[in-house]
A and B are shown apart, each in its own frame.
Chain A
Amino acid sequence: MAIEARGLAKWFGDGAARTDAVRDVSVEVRLGEMLYIVGPSGSGKTTLLSMISGILRPNAGSVRVEGVDIWGLDDDALAEFRLHRIGFVFQDYHLFPRLSTAENVAIPLILRRRAWHEALVEARRLLGLVGLENRAELPPVKLSGGEQQRVAIARALVGEPDVLILDEPTASLDGETGRSIVSFIRNDVLSASRAIVVVTHDARISEFAHRILVMEDGRLTAVRENHAHAS
């Protein structure tokens, strides 16, 4: 099991001002699986994603990734864990505008203390994988939205993570571009030793999921198996 989350809960604020973002949610994600979390805006998807990826500490519950109780780790160990095990694709990419595309992609390797030059060689290889080899020296702002998304994916993948986390990967892309990117992730990024969790409310890409969890008001309300594409 790649991820086992038990009884996760998260609330913000206290007393009358308290918002329950996630209430008692348990999730399992298998290696080789592409899992979607869908639901209306404000239903707690990002909060859940953050708790299972070691970014947001839950108020209750536990998360095991590849057997490691991640919320039992101290801050440094948790950062180290995210760096080595998890690839993030943020909703608004968060690429550094003053760095070249290749330098952006190299960041996780730089944080792992790899030599600058070596990291850039590897970053260019990843850019080739997402079809952007000829964009390596450009700043991200010179790229289209779809291209920036692919740069963000290359950055998430450069460290060979076991778990890839994507929050609304198609939100700011047109339908065609969104589909091609998710199709690429499903066909070329997913492998037997990797789990992918996607938060989305884009129905156009639902065919690529193995399983879809539906959230409403902080609760898991349905689980749909997608037999059409299950592999």
Chain B
Amino acid sequence: MPGLFALAYKLLVNDRAKFTALLIGITFAVFLILQMTSMFAGVLKRASATVVNVGAKVWVMDPSVNNVVSSIGMPDYVEDFARSIPGVAYAVPLYSGAALARLPDGSYQPVSVLGLDDTSLFGRPELVQGRIEDIYADNGFVIVDDSEYPKLGSPPVGASFELNDRAARIVGVARVASSTLFGIPTLYTTYSRAVQYIPSTRFTTAYVLIEPKSPADVPVIQRQIGRLGYLALTSDQFIKRIANFYTYKTGLGTNILLMTVISFMVGLSISGQTFYSFIIENLEKFGALKAIGAKGRELVLMILFQATFVSLTGFGLGIGLSTALIALAKMRLASYAAVITFDNLALAFVMVIIIAGVSSYVGVRRVLRIEPFDIFRG
């Protein structure tokens, strides 16, 4: 059997022009599909960055909230009620808002501000500079060292600046798991200071963060909060809700889907047509092989091998190209959001398999239909 595959391989690869066209078609499709979907995955991941970084197990919010930055203030009784649910170990408020920072050079930079519960500092980030206790010091803010950090001039501990026209001071620099989507720096402070610095509507609690006593308590908590007219989501559910928002309620998902489908069609038509003309060009030879004594099944195997080989090679090249380009983009542009996930790869792989399948199906049909007698007659 290996001899048959070697034969199939040589027939394919020795036809440089067609082999190259096939590889380009598939590589191009894989590259575009991966580029689109990894950009999308990156955007979705960053859209939920705050949920991941704060790390609370259950988030309570207004039922209209569908994306972490557009929070809707909730009255204090929500927090009190949450504390009173038996399965709740503790519940704390989280402030989330935006402010304007004024840089030493006089320019302004919007920033996002998270206010942590004053007593527990629940959801605090891990500091790489400074001490978390200093967050209680006058005008104290912790800045996140992510890809947006340089937009505030990468201020070290002790640096001063103005936030909404009030004096502010960096008391710590933090690392977080995930950068945010919105391309602005993130500051942490206490809940009460956040409320002082940022003008607010009547209710200032963006989220109530709950630590359940055990995972088994979560459904009960969700039901109780629901009865109050609010929404309690596990962090996974919240991330899902945010992803759904960007996928279905903005043009983003549709566009990505459309581009992915187009890339797929382009790849399919280039590769499919090239493979078809490759088969047609060799059709008489396949007929001669049949006359000599090749079984239909063996010819099918040869064609499948060729399709699989060229597809997997193109798949590999496409992944390589995407990875290289994303790596390059990240080198030049720290905040470039794309991430290649396993799901992206799986999707691209499925599309490549479909391309290979459709192309070889057409080829196989033609090859099975040729009559050796017609070859013999010339």
Contact = CB atoms under 8 A, between A and B. Distances in A.
Contacts of A151: none
A84 B293 contact: yes
A99 B10 contact: yes
A108 to B, nearest CB: 6
A147 interface: no
A79 interface: yes
Nearest to A57: B373
Given A46-B377, A56-B373, A98-B15, A113 B3 contact: yes
Interface in A78-131: 79-84, 86, 88, 90-92, 94, 96, 98-99, 103, 107-111, 113-116, 119
A79 B288 contact: no
Given A55-B372, A79-B295, A107-B289, A90 B378 contact: yes
Contacts, number: 88
Contact of B14 (A55, A98, A113): A98
A86 B292 CA distance: 8
Contact of B298 (A108, A111, A115, A167): A111
A206 interface: no
B375 interface: yes
Contacts of B377: 46, 50
B376 A76 contact: no
Task: Report the interface size class on chain A.
Answer: 35 or more
A171 to B, nearest CB: 9
Interface residues of B, number: 30
B162 interface: no
A110 B7 contact: yes
B292 A116 contact: no
A82 to B, nearest CB: 4
Contact of B1 (A81, A94, A103, A113): A113
Contacts of A83: 292-294
Nearest to B373: A56
A79 B11 contact: no
A167 B374 CA distance: 13
Nearest to B14: A98
A114 B7 CA distance: 12
B21 to A, nearest CB: 15
Contacts of B10: 98-99, 103
Query: Which of A92, A107, A167 has the most C-beta atoms of chain B within 10 angstroms of its own C-beta?
Result: A107
A81 B295 CA distance: 11
A88 B295 contact: no
A94 B284 contact: yes
A55 B290 CA distance: 9
Contact of A111 (B2, B11, B294, B376): B294
B166 interface: no
Interface string A125-167: 0000000000000000000000000000001000000000001
Contact of B378 (A91, A96, A111): A91
B150 to A, nearest CB: 56
Interface in A150-190: 155, 167
B293 A108 contact: yes
Contact of B376 (A90, A109, A113): A90
A114 B3 contact: yes
A80 B293 contact: yes
Interface of B: 1-4, 6-7, 10-11, 14-15, 282, 284-285, 287-296, 298, 372-373, 375-378
Enumerate the 6 nearest inter-chain pairs by beta-carbon distance, A residue then B residue, closest first: A83-B293, A94-B288, A98-B14, A110-B3, A82-B293, A56-B373
Given A55-B376, A82-B293, A90-B291, 9 more contacts: A82-B291, A83-B293, A84-B293, A90-B376, A98-B14, A107-B292, A109-B3, A111-B4, A111-B294
